[in-house]
Amino acid sequence: MLLSVIIPAYNEESRLLPILKAATAHFDEKFPKSFELIVVDDGSTDNTAEIARSYASDHPNASLLQYGRNRGKGYAVRHGMLAAKAEWRLFCDADLATPIEEFDVVYSKMLTDRSEIGIGSRPLRESHLLVHQPWYRELLGRLFNKVVQMLAVPGIQDTQCGFKIFSARAAKDIFSLCVLDRFAFDAEALYLAQRLGYKISEVPIRWSHKPGSKVSMIRDGSRMILDLLRIRSLHRNVAQSATQEAGQA
């Protein structure tokens, strides 16, 4: 198995089928019979699970994971990453804000860089934002990333884009240590990646804003900041790798 595609889904009945079809079409050509699609239902109250289950009944390489109540996107991604079987593991948002074809771009850069983690990044000069977020969300997003760099993940321009690839080794090492269940989980995962000495390729992508975001700037913003403040203390006992120490010397 070369690739696992993990799709965290909470009340995504209107958007789930298009990403399943797009991923199947793309990876059937790229990795025939060597990829799996994993929909992780995060306690949806709509028909998300039924759609995933129906799709899986016609596509043996697709599956549905459930664990009952809503736990948060971080929990869903962690659950899927640790259940996946493939050599490479992509998690992507169900809204297709990043087209599934951008896997080729990120994966190619990872191979060139010999890195085990590749992340799509929106603010890079070469990125192509086809549809921008509303100006206030874009501004708040940039401010939040500045805080992320100060508190947890220096040097990464975009920790929150929902399009990231991990090697099996990196996924197991990192997500087995993650504990944050909500929207700061990306920063936690990348903090651990840097702490453990993994090389991260940050790659420009095509991206389009899609309405219907589950993130509320007012409701979730303060919680995300509090989670960022917790990351270092949560993982203070994680030994810094020799590679990372050398890089900081």
Task: Identify the residue whose tokens are 């936690």.
Answer: 188
Length of the chain: 249
3-state secondary structure of 35: strand
> Could you read off the pLDDT of 57-74 as tens digits, one per residue?
999 999 999 999 999 999
Q: Residue 247 pLDDT more than 60? A: no
3-state secondary structure of 243: helix
Q: How many distinct structural domains can be found in the chain?
A: 1
**Average of pLDDT values for 174-178?**
98
CATH for 117: 3.90.550.10
Write the Ramachandran bin of 132: left for phi over 0, alpha for psi from -120 to 50, otherwise beta: beta
98 falls in which pLDDT band (50, 70, 90)?
very high
Can you tell me the distance from the alpha carbon of 196 to that of 71, in angstroms, rounded to the nearest whole number? 26
Local confidence band at 211 (pLDDT 50, 70, 90 cut-offs): low
Q: What is the pLDDT of residues 218-233, one digit of tens each?
A: 666 678 888 888 999 9
Q: Kindly indicate the confidence band of residue 124, based on its pLDDT and cuts at 50, 70 and 90.
A: confident
The residue range of the domain holding 91 is: 3-248
pLDDT tens digits along 102-117:
999 999 999 999 999 9
Q: Render pLDDT for 16-33 as a digit per residue (tens, 0 to 9).
A: 999 999 999 999 999 999
3-class secondary-structure state, position 192: helix
pLDDT value of residue 244 = 47
